[in-house]
Amino acid sequence: MATTEVLVSRGEFTNEPFTDFSNPQNRAAMQAALAKVKSQFNTTYPLWIGGQKVETGEWLKSTNPSKPDEVVGIFHKANLDIANRAVELAHQRFQTWQRVPAAERSEIMFRAADILRKRKFEYSAWVSYEVGKTWPEADADIAETIDFLEFYGRESLRVAQPQPLNPMKGEKNYLVYIPLGVGVVIPPWNFPCAIMAGLVVAAVVTGNTVVLKPSSDSPTIAYKFLEALWEAGLPKDVIQFCPGPGATVGDTLVAHPKTRFVGFTGSKEAGLHIQEQASKTQPGQIWIKRTVLEMGGKDAIIVDDEADLDAAVEGVTLSAFGYQGQKCSACSRAIVTEKVYNSFLDKLKVRVEKIKVGPADDPNNFMGPVINKGSMTDILKYIEHGKKDGRLLTGGNRLPGDGYFLEPTVIADIAPKSKLEQEEIFGPVLAVTKARDFDHALEIANDTEFGLTGAVYTKNPKKLEKAATEFHVGNLYFNRKCTGAMVGAHPFGGFNMSGTDSKTGGKEYVMLFLQAKTVAEKVS
């Protein structure tokens, strides 16, 4: 079937709906999926290199942050030789995969989307256990994964069609988009299925081959996603599954002369390191490596004195403490004009103290654990620093239990340019800063090295118009939370040290994995 016919047959893209867990049938299905997934804990998984299982006898263990004694999966760990071989074999496979018609590649993605729909609860359960996402957060992760499969499948078909050019008399001319080559994909743990899948799918559906180095905190869900792709018909040698340490395996993959591009989501420090490594031309390298970098944020919500305070409190709370604040889009700064500052804090304290924290597999909890012990230790250090620089409004402690549970924490009276106001914490900590007025709030919001998401609460249309022009972030929201970007509706990516503004989930995204070739033929 031709690309145009496939595109028409699939219809318009629509976002995958979220699951209504108030429905007893859905709750029962999720409970059953959690039990099924838990029965598969402690399974050992191989690497997949060149379409073959590879075992090293060196282990990487993934654990449940709600109950760290529980081992979710055990993985053979790659070494430098395997990393180099993975790139070489991916380069060999690229020579044939790039010739597979776009329609066939997209159909694989559509079939994989159908598989995930049928097993949505099961995939959500893996996410909940492995990275501590509560039911709604895990469900949203899988819904977004399905969206990426459907959206990028359609976009690949769109760009595979003949591209319009100005005709030239006496010539037949056309432009085609061709894939780049081998891509190294290094995803984060916080959206262990969605972001990982988005990077992989956009690269593979456009004809590239991939070496996937999943986060050491979330290799199981990456493996499970590959199983869905394989079941959907993707040849097993198109993606090399290569878990291992970033400082050794990751650096080797990025530096390899046959690596053509790197897709990364994670911290600013790691992203800048990858950018530096990729910029160094290696012996035998014949191209400039492309990097697609999605990094951190220090996202602010401005609360104006003309705002609906109750709506602002709710939006700030959901943005700051959804998934324990472990989103690059999370609100870590609330900047509130002085006329409503005290009223806002009073309402915020009451709302935050209603949040229930506990194991992520318990549907009664709004917050689960932070990802690991190291993260918990770092967050607690930030809290102690914040207590000195500001006023602890609520929270501030580790909660009882074996899991990495922290209280949702709000620290008020944080000054602009201070540590808590400038540095990404990546945890359930909100810094609140007082601004003189709306213009001052905008000034404070823009005064960081990041520029990912932001939001403004005000009923004044002129202030919203000013923010639309002057609030320098890649994703800006008005009178709503600053998290929850939807594929197709909110192309996602930020400015400055937040990354290369790659706009994942947007129509331009697949172009990052392609290059344009113009052909002109003289005709009589």
pLDDT in tens, 314-327: 999 999 999 999 99
Q: How far is CA 162 from CA 21, 95, 145, 232, in A?
A: 45, 22, 28, 27
Q: How far, in Å, CA of 388 to CA of 386, rounded?
A: 5
Work out the burial of residue 480: count CB atoms within 10 Å of its CB; fewer than 13 is exposed, 13-18 middle, 19 or more buried.
Answer: middle
Q: Name beta bridge partners: 61.
A: 74
- List, for residues 29-45, the tens digit of each pLDDT value: 999 999 999 999 999 99
Q: How far, in Å, CA of 292 to CA of 413, rounded?
A: 37
pLDDT at 1: 63
Active-site residue identified among 16, 144, 155, 294: 294
Percent helix, strand, coil in the chain (nearest 5)? 40, 20, 35
| Total number of residues shown for the chain | 524
Q: Which of 335, 522, 306, 503 lies closest to 430 in space, CA to CA?
A: 335
- Identify the sign of the CA torsion 413, 477, 195, 444: negative
Angle at 139 between CA 134 and CA 145, to 5 degrees: 130
- Identify the sign of the CA torsion 341, 342, 345, 350: negative
Asked if the 26-295+501-521 domain carries CATH number 3.40.605.10, the reply is yes
The residues near 190 (Cβ < 8 Å, ≥ 6 apart) are 131, 323, 326, 327, 328, 371
Q: Name beta bridge partners: 179.
A: 514
pLDDT confidence tier of residue 169, bands split at 50, 70 and 90: very high
- List, for residues 378-405, the tens digit of each pLDDT value: 999 999 999 999 999 999 999 998 999 9
Q: Name beta bridge partners: 368.
A: none
Q: Which of 363, 366, 362 lies closest to 320 in space, CA to CA?
A: 366
- List, for residues 501-518, the tens digit of each pLDDT value: 899 999 999 999 999 999
Record the tokens describing residue 462, joined without a space: 């002129």
Does 221 score more than 80 pLDDT?
yes
> What type of residue sits at position 219?
P
> What type of residue sits at position 488?
G
Residue 5, φ and ψ in degrees, nearest 5: -65, -40
Residue 482 known to be catalytic: no
pLDDT confidence tier of residue 425, bands split at 50, 70 and 90: very high
Q: Return the DSSP state at 266.
A: S
Q: How far, in Å, CA of 316 to CA of 483, rounded?
A: 10
pLDDT at 11: 85
Angle at 382 between CA 376 and CA 386, to 5 degrees: 140
Does 102 score more than 70 pLDDT?
yes
pLDDT at 7: 67
- List, for residues 465-475, the tens digit of each pLDDT value: 999 999 999 99
Active-site residue identified among 16, 130, 242, 328: 328
pLDDT confidence tier of residue 9, bands split at 50, 70 and 90: confident
Residue 104 known to be catalytic: no
Record the tokens describing residue 73, joined without a space: 């999966």
Record the tokens describing residue 301, joined without a space: 């919500």
- Strand residue runs (E) in 77-139: none
Q: How far, in Å, CA of 278 to CA of 260, rounded?
A: 9
Delimit the domains of the chain by residue range: 26-295+501-521, 299-486
Proportion of the chain above pLDDT 90, given as a percent: 96
What CATH number does the domain located at 299-486 have? Answer: 3.40.309.10
Maximum Cα–Cα distance for the chain, whole Å? 82
